[in-house]
Each structure stands twice: as C-alpha cells, then as structure tokens.
Chains A and B, each alone.
Chain A
C-alpha cells in the first residue's frame, strides 16, 4: 500500500500528439532555473522548461527517458503535466543531424556578428546537445 501511494500521474503533451501518459514515483526535468526532481505531493507549481532530458522513475521498472525542448510544466500534488512544443524519444533522434546542428550553432556563436541572434543560436546549441546526449 505504502509503495502504491507514492505514484502520481505523468502526462507529456505536444501539439501533435499525447506523447506520454503514465505513472511514476519521481520525475526529473530541466526548468529555466535548473534541474528539478518532483515527488508526489509537490506544492502546485507552474514552471518554464528549458531543453533537457525528462526522466520518469518508477520503482521496479526501467526509467522512461525523453528529450523535451521548450514548453512549461504544471505540477500538482497528484499530477505532473508537461506541455512541450517538441518532445522526442531517444530512438526518434537523428544523431548526425543533431551533430551538424551543434556544429552550426557553435560556429555561429564563435564568429558573432551583428545580425546573429545569440539567444537563438544558444537555444539551438542546447537543443542539439540534449539530443546528442540522449541518443548517446
């Protein structure tokens, strides 16, 4: 019973599909202010996501991992919902494309000129790094 009650609902929704629904006893993800881990009965919190890996832990089962870029999370005591603009499973990621994107973003950041949007390049770099990381 005690084990059972530690579970809470997890939902990841993207514009194109319901990416994941299930239960877990702990979820980790990256927010704009750093990595956080959430257990059941967390205080209600809405927070902004930054590109990173989402890990859903559940005792006795393999962790579920996915890459999530930009969006926000709504945390309620019994439920965590991630509204992500992009979410990908590790097997969906094209590693060579991500590597090319990383190189492009690095080049752009290295040779800064007036017309380069630094924020955007940094965001692209972070996305690429997350993709490479999760695809291993």
Chain B
C-alpha cells in the first residue's frame, strides 16, 4: 500500500487539475452562450441564401455556367475548420477523421486550413496545405469569410481546382455537434428537396441570369463559409464544455477514491502504532 504522504500528494495534484478543468468549463460555457447566439443570428441569412440559390438553380435547369460544371482540374479544395486549441474532446479528431475516411484521394486534396489543430493533423498525414488561416476562427467575421471565399473562388475560376468542399462541425444543439463534409462547387442540388421555393413563380433576373449567378454564387459560398465558421466556434466551445465537465467529474471520483485510501492508510498506521505501544508496555510490565 502506498504511503500516506504519496496518497496526499497525488490527491493534491488531482485537486489542482480539477480546479483548472472547472475554470475551463466555466469559461467555455460563457463563450458557448455568445457563440450560440451568434450562430442563431446568422442562420436566417444562410438559410435564405440557400433557398434562393436552390430555387434559382432548380428553375433555370441547364444554364451554362462555370460554377455549375465540374472544373477541368482534378484537384479538390477542402476548407477544413477546426480549432486552434485542444482539450475539446473529439472535436478536432472527428473533423479530421471525416476527411481521411472520405473518398477524396489525399494527392488531389488542397487543404485550406482554418484552425491550427486541423492543419497540424493533416500535415502529419501528408496532406498538402495550401493555406493556413488559423487566426480567423478566433473571432469569425464576415469580412474574413469573404476574403477566404474570394481566394478559393479565384483558384477555381483560374482552373487550378475543380471542386470545392467544406469540412466543419455542425452545431445542432448544445450537446449534439456533427462533423460535416459538404460539396460547395460545382453546385449540386439535393434531389427531392422540398425547400426549393413554390413552383409556378417565374423569376426574372436583372441584369441577366448569368450575371446574377455570377454575383450570387460567391455570396452564397461566403455565407456558407461564414455560417460554418460561426457554427464551428459554437461547436468547439460546446465540445470543450462537455470534455471539461466530464474531466471535472472524473477528478471528483478519483479524489473520493483517494480520500478513502488515505483514511484507510491513516487508520492502518494508528492501529500499528497502538499495537506496537501495547506490545512494548506488556513486555516491560511482564
């Protein structure tokens, strides 16, 4: 059995770790609340944008537009949104796993990394990192999303990349976050999508349909990027909050276990001392 001093020291170290995890949990709870309300405010814009674009494409069936056709190049750009900091449970690993398990061959993927953890993990696995924009996840702004979108689209229109994907963590609610990998360009419509606006309305476009698409698609992609950034930030804090919560309760469990062990050791040593004293006294008087 470990000595009393050893047990005490171990208990102390776990206690201070617990204090840290508790504080981290509180911090991420506050951050989560902020990030969640932002995500909720962003939602109407992205969903309206999605509706507009899909109803536009559904009605204008076969326009010949570069954004709707696969590019010449086989290269695929993947925007991977992870966090800069760890201690968030499986948050980063899940996004990485989604990409490594996908059918996208490693050689053809160009990673536009947002978030240092994702960049490091993919770099280790031998992916090509095209860009590292890790700072923008700290406080996602629409301007950052627009700048990133402009760079990715420039590579797309220049023919350097043929497809654009987005990997991020979708924030469903405080406890459920699912990693998602979606294809952005060329735009693919989900079949049987009921949300494609009421049929029968014949939409007119000004200037022309092509020009309107030219203008709207980049905004659509930007809104998706921005929505993903904001949701990822919320998911990150949600994941960290959960991870820290379970770390705190694990620490609690270990502490109570160690307290029990410590008391047993203490009792054992007292009993032993007593036995020794009694034995000594009876030897003298005997």
Contacts and interface: CB of A to CB of B under 8 A. Distances in A.
B48 A47 contact: no
Contact of B142 (A13, A16, A44, A48): A16
A83 B48 contact: yes
B146 interface: yes
B216 A44 contact: no
B201 A47 contact: no
A22 interface: no
A30 to B, nearest CB: 12
B78 to A, nearest CB: 23
Contact of B215 (A16, A44, A72, A76): A72
B219 A44 contact: no
Contacts of A44: 201-204
Contacts of B38: 16
A13 B44 contact: yes
B207 interface: yes
B262 interface: no
Nearest to A72: B216
A85 interface: yes
Contacts, number: 67
A118 interface: no
Nearest to A42: B204
A33 interface: yes
Contacts of A107: none
Contacts of A119: none
Contacts of B203: 44-46
A48 B207 contact: yes
B190 interface: no
Categorize the interface residue count of chain B. 20 to 34
A15 B142 contact: yes
Categorize the interface residue count of chain A. 20 to 34
A33 B219 CA distance: 19
Contact of B206 (A13, A47, A76): A47
B219 A71 contact: yes
Contacts of A33: 206-207
Interface string A44-68: 1111100000000000000000000
B211 A48 contact: yes
Interface in B258-280: none
A45 B211 contact: no
A83 B206 contact: no
Nearest to A31: B206
Contacts of A116: none
Interface string A2-16: 000000000001111
Interface string B41-63: 11011101100100010000000
A81 B44 CA distance: 12
Contact of B212 (A16, A48, A83, A85): A48
24 contacts: A13-B45, A15-B142, A15-B226, A16-B41, A16-B142, A17-B41, A18-B41, A18-B44, A32-B206, A32-B207, A43-B204, A44-B204, A46-B52, A46-B216, A48-B207, A48-B216, A71-B219, A72-B52, A72-B212, A72-B219, A83-B45, A83-B52, A83-B219, A85-B146
Interface of B: 38, 41-42, 44-46, 48-49, 52, 56, 142, 146, 201-207, 211-212, 215-216, 219, 222-223, 226
